[in-house]
Amino acid sequence: MPKLVPDQFCPFCGHHFNRASNVVDDGLIPTEGDISICLECGEPGIYTADLHMRKPTPAEQIELATDEEYLMHRDLWRAWKQKQEAEHGR
Ligand SMILES: [Zn+2]
């Protein structure tokens, strides 16, 4: 089940959200420093202490570029998004 996070907007595309799902362990809530992928644009955000998303720093972007777990989830998001667009024309 998605967990509630503060009402906010993706720092990349402005998509509004107030829920987060952990794809590895459904029972976990996000904590500071966790990485999330915007369902709308697929960009990675980092949770702050008050559970708002911020853009990764340049150093974090370099780390993400070689983070196999992140890259796997990004690929899964891409496949999900393509399926959504094919089925719903978005
Ligand atoms: Zn976004």
> What are 49-86's pLDDT values in tens digits?
999 999 999 999 999 999 999 999 999 999 999 999 99
Q: Tell me the CA–centroid distance for residue 81 and ligand 1, in Å.
A: 12
10-29 burial string, b = 16+ CB within 10 Å, else e? bbeeeeebeebeeeeeeeee
- The answer, as to whether pTM is greater than 0.75, is yes
* Ligand 1 centroid to residue 27 C-alpha, Å: 24
State in Å: Cα 37 to ligand 1 middle: 8
Q: Ligand 1 centre and the CA of 10: distance in Å?
A: 5
Asked if residue 90 has pLDDT above 70, the reply is: no
Ligand 1 centroid distance, CA of 52 (Å): 13
Give 3: exposed, middle or buried? Use CB within 10 Å, 0-12, 13-18, 19+.
Answer: middle
Contact 11, 26 (CB under 8 A): no
